[in-house]
């Protein structure tokens, strides 16, 4: 099982997911909140067999079916805010480094509000918090800011 995240300039972000059985599922998240599910042929991972467009409400309903407690987007004063989990992978340039070295808020406008680690959650981590491979950052910001932060953490 593996996932890959790809920034689509001017469009949004594509998330590719490979199941344990080798099935390829793709989710494209547009900047305006629209989502598309893509299902690919196992014998040809580039051949999309079916694409299903989802409105934001439909995507939320589907997420609730898969995970009864997903983190939803928050809308405040006409500004769309999203909350997203961002993994710190083995290839991240920030694994083993201090959170402050990411300069996340300055570079993207997104805030890291917690770090989830196997040993527990660390809410409101300070700049001296050391990130490790396997951590999951809980980030809040605009879609563009959170996407930019995910690219930075991934080393993109």
Domain residue extents for the chain: 2-66, 74-154
As a whole number of angstroms, the distance between CA 61 and CA 82 comes to 16
* pLDDT for 66: 75
Strands 24-30, 35-40: parallel, antiparallel or unpaired by DSSP?
antiparallel
Instruction: Please check whether residue 26 is in contact with residue 45, taking contact to mean a CB–CB distance below 8 angstroms.
Output: no
As a whole number of angstroms, the distance between CA 124 and CA 3 comes to 27
Considering the segment(s) 74-154 as one domain, its CATH architecture is 2-Layer Sandwich (3.30)
CA proximity to 133, closest of 84, 94, 99: 94
Instruction: Please check whether residue 83 is in contact with residue 73, taking contact to mean a CB–CB distance below 8 angstroms.
Output: yes
As a whole number of angstroms, the distance between CA 9 and CA 18 comes to 23
Neighbours of 86 (CB within 10 A): 23
* pLDDT for 45: 67
Phi, psi of 93 (to 5 degrees): -70, -10
Is pLDDT above 60 for 94? yes
As a whole number of angstroms, the distance between CA 145 and CA 84 comes to 11
Render pLDDT for 32-62 as a digit per residue (tens, 0 to 9): 777 889 888 777 767 888 889 887 777 777 7
Reported as a pLDDT band with limits 50, 70 and 90, residue 119 is confident
Helix (H) or strand (E) holding 121: strand 120-123
* pTM of the predicted structure, to 2 decimals: 0.56
As a whole number of angstroms, the distance between CA 84 and CA 146 comes to 7
């Amino acid at each position: 099982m593996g996932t890959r995240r790809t920034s689509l300039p001017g469009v949004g972000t594509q998330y590719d997911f490979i199941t344990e059985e080798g099935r390829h599922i793709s989710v494209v998240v547009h900047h305006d909140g629209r989502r598309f599910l893509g299902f690919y042929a196992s014998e040809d991972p580039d051949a999309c067999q079916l694409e299903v467009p989802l409105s934001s409400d439909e995507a939320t309903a589907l997420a609730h079916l898969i995970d009864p407690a997903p983190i939803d987007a928050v809308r405040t004063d006409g500004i769309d805010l999203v909350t997203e989990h961002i993994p710190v992978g083995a290839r991240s340039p920030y694994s083993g480094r201090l959170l402050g070295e990411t300069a996340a808020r300055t570079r993207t406008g997104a805030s890291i509000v917690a770090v989830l680690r196997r040993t527990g959650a660390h809410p409101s981590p300070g700049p001296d918090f050391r990130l490790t491979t396997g951590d999951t950052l809980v980030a809040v910001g605009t879609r563009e800011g959170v996407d930019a932060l995910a690219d930075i953490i991934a080393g993109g």
